[in-house]
Structure 1
Amino acid sequence: MDLYCAKTFSKMADTSVKRSTREISNLFPSKALVLLIGASKGFGRSVAIEAAKKWRQVRDHAELKFVLIGRDENLMQETGEAVKKELETANYSIHKLDVSVVDDAFEKRVDAVFASESFADFDAV
């Protein structure tokens, strides 16, 4: 799933593809909030840096606010600085959270929602 998301983002952000100005504006607004969970390393860090690069290619001036959530504050700080290196107008905030602790509670809640609803009429996506 992560690889699919990364490839999709890259295709959307491909500036060599002919796109209308309106389509580019919709894909890359001049002001945006980018929320990333797991932003201290790996896929989350890569997405943050790639997003900053692509916005820089499309917009002369973009006001991006990156909200970085993860376990390691130092690594998230590095991610934030890497983002600013790619897009000087970007800002970031760091929020420490061990998502693995939250996962169990979230999973139980999602299970409860699916148990209480009838989704038989819907196709899985």
Structure 2
Amino acid sequence: MAVLRVISNLATGDVAAAQAFYGDFLGLDLVMDHGWIQTFASDARMAPQVSIATEGGSGTPVPTLSIEVDDVDAYRRRAGDLGLEIVYELTDEPWGVRRFYVRDPFGNAINILSHR
């Protein structure tokens, strides 16, 4: 027995609103669309992970998702250019990540990070 994948399911009344954030902002590909559910993905390979937390670190709320990117500074600039709501400003954390929180169209706080 082995866990092969971990998939996040975010509730919304309007799946079409996901394209601007998860497709255009994050650059994920729309790989499945049944009208009531859309799935965005990339070709990157990763190990399945689930984090359980009492806080998001540095006194922040627990984010709905954490998304590791190759250049967190570029994503922060892009979020600003797109007028996205920044929930927690770009910060170098003592545990070795540089990150910021941005709000997705469904109200979720999304942790965008790179390891230093």
Q: TM-score range by the shorter chain?
A: under 0.3
Larger-Rg structure: 1
Q: Under a length normalisation based on structure 2, what TM-score does the superposition of the two structures give? A: 0.25
TM-score, normalization by structure 1? 0.24
The structure carrying a bigger strand percent of its residues is 2
